[in-house]
């Protein structure tokens, strides 16, 4: 999320984020992958399904629970998005997160809505995303082309962004869809890529 939002924050000054993540089972490691495969096979064969890694069946399902619940009723994974945004981008940005585990092997996806201090120019938004190292924009309405976890969510360090469109009710709002390889990506690599862009812009 933060790699995709960094150029938008630099250009338009992000003030608020609504984000829903759709997280692959590989985020839970090998055990998560094996549970999805075993449950999928059992479901198709009409056998009983065992649950060990997740509190609910993950095969052919979505679970709005990643990590553990905290005292504020958000999960730790959801709060990590808040903390990392404040640490890496700006502590004044408000973040409203929901994290969902989905039956995908590799490749986290995010539906992101932002509100900014400045009015959004959609072409400028696309250009600043395109020019930011580590981001690949795939956003062709005519060809019905956009990033997906299966096609773009594994084997690369790039962050893929599509479905870029202004909000319906506010001129200072933007929606986008983001996909990345969760095995290769993470807060550490995000920070490195953002830092590299900052250094590059100063040279």
Q: Where are the domains of the chain?
A: 2-24+62-202, 28-61
State the Cα–Cα distance between residues 103 and 110, nearest whole angstrom.
15
State the Cα–Cα distance between residues 34 and 171, nearest whole angstrom.
45
Q: Would you mind telling me the total number of residues written for the chain in this entry?
A: 203
Q: 12 and 5 in contact (C-beta within 8 Å)?
A: no
Of the candidates 109, 101, 107, 110, the residue with the CA atom closest to the CA atom of residue 32 = 101
Asked if the model's pLDDT at residue 201 lies above 60, the reply is no
State the Cα–Cα distance between residues 159 and 178, nearest whole angstrom.
7
Asked if the model's pLDDT at residue 51 lies above 80, the reply is yes
Asked if the model's pLDDT at residue 127 lies above 90, the reply is yes
6-37 pLDDT, tens digit each = 999 999 999 999 999 999 999 999 999 999 99
Tally the C-alpha atoms within 13 A of residue 3's C-alpha that lie toward its C-beta: 31
pLDDT reported for residue 184:
87
Asked if the model's pLDDT at residue 195 lies above 80, the reply is no
State the Cα–Cα distance between residues 178 and 46, nearest whole angstrom.
35
CATH fold group of domain 2-24+62-202 = Dihydrodipicolinate Reductase; domain 2 (3.30.360)
State the Cα–Cα distance between residues 16 and 94, nearest whole angstrom.
5
Give the pLDDT band of residue 203 (cuts 50, 70, 90). very low
138-185 pLDDT, tens digit each = 999 999 999 999 999 999 999 999 999 999 999 999 999 999 999 987
82-97 pLDDT, tens digit each = 999 999 999 999 999 9
pTM (2 decimals)? 0.90
pLDDT reported for residue 20:
99
Q: 101 and 62 in contact (C-beta within 8 Å)?
A: yes
């Amino acid at each position: 999320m933060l790699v995709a939002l960094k150029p938008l924050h630099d250009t338009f000054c992000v003030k608020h984020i609504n984000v829903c993540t759709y997280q692959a089972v590989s985020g839970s490691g090998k055990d998560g992958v094996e549970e999805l495969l075993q449950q999928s096979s059992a479901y198709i064969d009409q056998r009983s399904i065992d649950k060990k890694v997740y509190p609910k069946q993950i095969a052919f399902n979505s679970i709005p629970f990643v990590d553990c619940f905290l005292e504020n009723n958000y999960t730790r994974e959801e709060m990590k998005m808040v903390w990392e945004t404040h640490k890496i981008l700006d502590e004044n940005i408000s973040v409203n997160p929901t994290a969902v585990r989905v039956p995908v092997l590799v490749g986290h996806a995010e539906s992101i809505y932002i509100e900014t201090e400045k009015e959004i120019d959609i072409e400028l938004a696309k250009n600043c995303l395109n020019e930011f190292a580590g981001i690949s924009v795939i956003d062709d309405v005519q060809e019905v082309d956009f990033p997906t976890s299966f096609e773009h969510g594994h084997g690369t360090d790039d962050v893929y962004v599509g479905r870029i469109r202004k909000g319906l009710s506010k001129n200072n709002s933007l929606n986008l869809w983001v996909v990345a390889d969760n095995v290769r990506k993470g807060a550490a690599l995000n920070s490195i890529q953002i830092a590299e862009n900052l250094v590059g812009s100063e040279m």
